[in-house]
Structure 1
Amino acid sequence: MSVPATTRFEVRPVSGALGAEVHGVDLANLSDEDFAELHRLLLEHLVIFIAGQQGLPPGAHVAFGRRFGEVELHPYLPRLDGHPEIVIIDSENGGKVDVWHTDMTFHASPPIASILQLVDCPSTGGDTMWTNQYLVYEQLSAPMRDLLDGLTAVHVIRIGDEFSSRAEHPVVRVHPGTGRRSLYVNRLFTSHVPQLSRNESDALLDYLFDFSEQPQFMCRYRWRPGDVAVWDNRVTQHYAVNDYTERRRGQRVTVLGDVPTGDPPRWEHYQAAPGQRYWPTRVNAVEPY
């Protein structure tokens, strides 16, 4: 356990890779100094877990999100009556996403942060896992990092049979608050690397997905009713473990994003030979979770 000298909060790291429980916080009555310290802890730990927030008013949930930036009005997911900024994530209404992903990377400006409160938790199971994408990038070999620094990736969302949103981002993005580099591709939304042939792109992405999902890059959190998790979407992936049958319901506020930046691509888009099929359709996403 570590307690930073600049805060009255009790901070307990969850794993060696990322994540920390923060105790002594009242999100309904948060001072500017308290928020500044939570923001610092988020940049340090990438995901923070704030316990003891049962009864958090929806207005306070939204107000907390607005301290980070503009909050989203989600176009697809069900929202809390009277509070359109709060999305309902319900296991009985499609809210199970057991695929590693970063939220909404198919947008030109993906979210910078998500703030999720679990209202109903199963008696066993239903944990969420996160990965530290700084560490993923840093533990790749120097030649691999050099290659990835010069590539982009296309991210898409598919609703039914249609691709409804598409964005191209650096494979390695630079965090605007820390200056650190992180791997920025994910299994759910990343379609292909346009500078490579289809086979090369598939092989590289499969390797990166598998590499980034190793246990040494992870933390795992066991929810209790009322817990709030805040994570930095720019440098994490997450996975909701689907190992339960009881209802699991949460309320999420999403903070709108900045434009991912990194090194400019060093190569043009790959041009397939005449008659050669290129467009990869590997994306799993059918709903924007």
Structure 2
Amino acid sequence: MENTPEVLRYAAFSTTPDGGNPAGLVLDARHLDEAGMLAVAAAVGYAETAFVTEPDVDGDPRRSRVRYFSPIAEVPFCGHATIALAVALSVRDGAGSFTFDTPVGPLVIETAGEGADTTASFTAVEPRLAEFDDAVLAELFGLLGVGQGDLDPAYPPRIAYSGNWHPVLVVADRTLFDAFGFDPVAMRRLMDLQGWAATVTILHRIADGEFEARNLFPVGAITEDPATGAAAAAVGAYLRILGLVEPPSRVLIRQGRHVGRPGLLTVDIPAAGGIVVSGRAVRIPAPSADS
């Protein structure tokens, strides 16, 4: 159809198409309204699809207006789709700096390298941190089947913001971290009530400066996100604001093992300003139905 946009598919935070987090990308969505973008995101079926709704903002060929949609709703910001989009534009336009005007504000993304060796880094918006309401935290514990005593005492539960609000819990025991489950319908209800538009972030510290993450994202057939750039930025915010790292510092986050798509996110935490999240991305071959 004439108005059917070309959709690229990239795996972010991975060097192989079957790792990391897949994102849909529409590099020219000027003809799509909100309903059209939502329909494309639903058809793609990934956690998020990024849409360039206005290229060449203010005459700058490396500045774009970008919106993000899950299969069911618009999402204010999506880190893995940002990384994927920056790599795709770098392949098309050459490596360097890009600016994305997003619903949470302008983001500058740096890219370097060529092809499968291209790395993209985004600097998230100014971070914030909030405490849980006791009743909300108790409900979250109940949905996960964990309690305060299961958390690493060095890492208190908080809600961190770096583009989206992410609840952050750090589970002390590796076995419990691997084994916990949840009812996706009940979790989605709680997330919607609290305005958590992205993921619930559950961490386990595996070494100094290194965590493994599970990011809960019940939407459609998806229950867990394979690699979550926005959550990685929120984790950096959480660590800095609570004084759990000495900036400038770097933290590695491994994610996706539990859903069969392992990936690696690099988080650089400066003394002030936005958290920087970096990773690679690689194109996923289009499914045969699209050819």
Q: If the length of structure 2 is used for normalisation, what is the TM-score?
A: 0.31
Quick check: which one's helix share is greater?
A: 2
Q: Give the TM-score of the pair, scaled to structure 1.
A: 0.31
Q: Which has the higher strand share?
A: 2
Q: Which has the larger radius of gyration?
A: 1
- Larger RCO (CA under 8 A, 6+ residues apart): 1
